[in-house]
Amino acid sequence: MVETYKSTSNPMMNRPVVKAELVEWMRSSQTQVTGELAEVLNFAKENNIPVIPHETVLYFQMLLSLLKPKRILEIGTAIGFSALVMAQEVPEAEIVTIDRNPEMIELAKKNLTKYDHRNQIQLKEGDAADVLQELKGPFDLVFMDSAKSKYVEFLPKSLELLSENGLILMDDVFQAGEILLPIMEVKRNQRALERGLRKLFDEVFDNPKYMTSVLPLGDGLLMIKKHKNC
């Protein structure tokens, strides 16, 4: 067990906006994760480490099978579960993933060494704002699952790195419904996060430069795509 993570670091996985009964139905009735991915997932559950939930895993698998991306960028590696999900679904893809948390990096390295059999996944250590400046595109898919307050800051460079028909996915944008609250009703230590998300929404919603869609998967998944004429 990794006692470090038995804390409040994973509240959103247990605070779905969608009815709890429907979440349970989605997670129990659809095909379950098996094999090596199940080993990584079980470790995350046992140690209360946040990873993408089951319904998002299945969505990713279908989306990737349709998009067939050649290069994927992930911001927020955690223990490497989502990167391994993507690697399994698109075995020909190159995946670059970024994280700055030393403890997570150590766990991710162990998992990638053990399970990334085709050496598809390249782990970049450091602050994403710095690492993004060093990367060269294009990437066909960018997945953000890191500090939510920073999504809007990562967006411009991510768009620069995105291929012509590329897609950006941002996880956990609902914040268990707190995005609907007046900012002063949000807990003080969460306000910077909420302000960052609301700034992001102001930037991309109803903006002719982007196509957007919000999916009620997990704690909310925001999809962003550049309009072809912009």
User: Average pLDDT of 199-215?
Assistant: 96
Is the pLDDT at 218 greater than 80? The verdict is: yes
Q: How confident is the model at residue 214 (pLDDT cuts 50, 70, 90)?
A: very high
Q: Name, in order, each residue with C-beta under 8 angstroms of 111's C-beta and a sequence gap of 6 or more.
A: 40, 79, 80, 81, 84
Is the pLDDT at 222 greater than 60? The verdict is: yes
1: which 2 tokens? Answer: 């067990």
Mean pLDDT of the chain: 91
State what percent of residues in the chain have pLDDT above 70: 92
Is the pLDDT at 176 greater than 50? The verdict is: yes
The string of pLDDT tens digits covering residues 5-31 is: 443 344 444 556 778 888 888 888 998
Q: Which residues are annotated as a binding site?
A: 52, 82, 99, 127-128, 145
Q: Which of 29-38, 69-78, 151-160 has the lowest mean pLDDT?
A: 29-38
Q: What's the confidence (pLDDT) of residue 15?
A: 59
Q: Helix/strand/coil (H, E, C) string of the chain?
A: CCHHHCCCCCCHHHCCCCCHHHHHHHHHHCCCCCHHHHHHHHHHHHCCCCCCCHHHHHHHHHHHHHHCCCEEEEECCCCCHHHHHHHHHCCCCEEEEEECCHHHHHHHHHHHHHHCCCCCEEEEECCHHHHHHHCCCCEEEEEECCCHHHHHHHHHHHHHHEEEEEEEEEECCCHHHHHHCCHHHCCHHHHHHHHHHHHHHHHHCCCCCEEEEEECCCCCEEEEEECCCC
Q: Which residues are annotated as a binding site for S-adenosyl-L-methionine?
A: 52, 82, 99, 127-128, 145
Is the pLDDT at 178 greater than 80? The verdict is: yes
- Domains of the chain in start order, with CATH, are 3-226 (3.40.50.150)
User: Average pLDDT of 173-183?
Assistant: 92
Is the pLDDT at 58 greater than 50? The verdict is: yes
Return the higher-pLDDT residue of 216 and 2. 216
Q: What's the confidence (pLDDT) of residue 7?
A: 39
